[in-house]
Amino acid sequence: MTHPGYAAARKRPKRDFFPVVLVGPAIFLLLLVGLFPLIYSIVVSFQGLTMTDEDTSFQGFANYAQLFHDSRLWESILHTVIITVVALPLEVLLGLGMALLLLDPIRGRQAFVALLVLPTMISPVVAGATWRLLFDHHFGPINEVLGWITGHEQALLWVVMPDLVYPSILICEIWQWTPFMFLLLLAALTGVDRSAVEAAEIDGATYWQKLWHIELPAIQPVMIVAVLIRALDLARVFDVVWALTKGGPGTMTETVSIYAYIQGFQQFETSYTAAIAFLIIALLSVLMTAAVRKVEFVR
């Protein structure tokens, strides 16, 4: 007597449509939002389309050549890199510090963790809006507190002054996403094999020796995954900057995502936007491949 079980299904996979039917709807939707835009972007990036001009003639690499002469584009890439390179290490360090602070049992630990994680759950637009209210030069509490510390009234134009826009964005970004790092690293540290740590303690290892030689190496895979996920998030940063500065003053804080948005939806450069989209994919592909590999490895 045979049963249509898994063993049977695995032996003759070619005649079995059941697993394929289950996968079908999901793959269809993913192709619609994953593959269609990709193909569309490739085709259109070789044409001369704008929203007002339906020029579908083949333009060769004209749009791609234009990429290299577009200083505003490269500046927007630089802005994105600056935000990423400053925010990411700070988030990791601060997140690690927080995780170590809350690792050992302490009364109220669970409640503290839940409270500290709240910023990460908020919509990035709301996070940006909140910090805009805090940063207000006249009615905001930040200048008020700075006034107490410095002893005379402060009226710093946080999200307007060229010197202060990046600190504003970075503070908001770090505020929102350090809890994400914290949560992941805390989970990883909790999972570290206690017997190795205790053995080191018996051998007289100090706190820092234990951390450096046992705990950090043990959580390294998780740390790498967390950094890669956050790096990809930062590379696409849009909402927070949009809510805080809209890319301004001028184009000073324009990120790649904001620039692509402006080209596509305000300048209506259809074909050129497609070329930008392709450049973004190309630039991020290394990071994306690494992230996919690592995430699979850790699981």
Partner 1 sequence: MSSAARRRRHARTQTARYAGIAVLLMFFLFPIYWLFAISFKTADEIFASPPVWVPGSLQLGNYFVLFKDGDAFTVWNSLVTAGLSTVLATMIGGVCAYSLARYRTGGNALASWVLSQRMVPPIVVVFPIFLLYVAFGWIDSYGGLILLYAAFNLPYVIWVMRGYIQDIPVELEEAALVDGCTRLQVLWKVVLPLARGGLFATAVFAFVFAWNDFLFALVLTRTEVTTFPVQVTHYFGGQSNFWAKIAAMSVLGTLPVFVIVVALQRFLVRGISMGAVKG
Nearest distance, CB of residue 272 and partner 1, angstroms: 11
Supply the angle between the helices 256-265 and 270-298 in degrees, to the nearest 10. Answer: 140
Residues binding partner 1: number (CB under 8 A): 100
Show contacts with partner 1 in window 44-103 (CB under 8 A): 44, 98, 101-102
Site string for partner 1, 147-186 (x = CB under 8 A): ----------------------------x---xx--xx-x
32 part of the interface to partner 1, by CB under 8 A: yes
Pick the stretch among 15-23, 55-63, 65-73, 209-217 that binds partner 1 (CB under 8 A): 15-23
For 42, the token pair is: 């490739």
User: Which of 30, 65, 93, 252 contacts partner 1 by CB under 8 A?
Assistant: 30
Q: How far is the CB of 73 from partner 1 (least distance, A)?
A: 13
Among 73, 165, 260, 275, binds partner 1 (CB under 8 A): 260
Contact call for residue 140 and partner 1 (CB under 8 A): yes
Residue 141 contacts partner 1 per CB under 8 A: yes
Nearer to partner 1, 138 or 152 (CB): 138
Min CB(156)–partner 1 separation in Å? 14
Phi then psi dihedrals of residue 231, to 5 deg = -60, -40
Instruction: Find the binding residues for partner 1 in span 188-207 (CB under 8 A).
Output: 188, 191
Q: How far is CA 3 from the centre of its chain?
A: 48
For residues 43 and 56, what is the distance between their CA atoms, to the nearest angstrom? 10
- Rounded (10°) CA dihedral 123, 126, 127, 131: 180
276 backbone dihedrals φ, ψ, rounded to 5°: -60, -45
Q: Which pair of tokens denotes residue 275?
A: 């070329």
The rounded distance, in Å, linking the Cα atoms of 100 and 120 is 19
- 119 lies in the binding site for partner 1 (CB under 8 A): yes
Query: Which range of residues in 69-77, 123-131, 160-168, 210-218 is near partner 1 by CB under 8 A?
Result: 123-131
CA distance 46 to 55: 11
- CB 100, CB 213: distance < 8 Å: no
Residues 220-259 that bind partner 1 (CB under 8 A): 222, 225-226, 229, 232, 235-236, 238-239, 242-243, 256-257
Helix (H) or strand (E) holding 137: none
Q: Is 139 buried (19+), middle (13-18) or exposed (0-12) by CB count in 10 A?
A: exposed
Q: Is 114 in the site for partner 1 (CB under 8 A)?
A: yes
